[in-house]
Structure 1
Amino acid sequence: MIGLAVLAFAIAAEPDPMSWITGSALGEPVEARVGRPATPVSAAGVARRTTRRVVRRSAVYVSTLPAGCATVTINGAGYYQCGATYYEYTGTQYVVVIIE
Structure 2
Amino acid sequence: MTRHRSKLAGIAVAAFAMILADGVGSLTPFGSLVSDAQARVGRPATPGSVAGVARRTTRRVVRRSTIYVAALPAGCVQTSVNGTVVWSCGGTYYQPYGGRYVVVYIN
Q: TM-score range by the shorter chain?
A: 0.3 to 0.5
Computing the radius of gyration from Cα coordinates, the structure with the larger value is 1
- Identify, as 1 or 2, the structure richer in helix: 2
After TM superposition, the score normalised by the length of structure 1 is 0.47
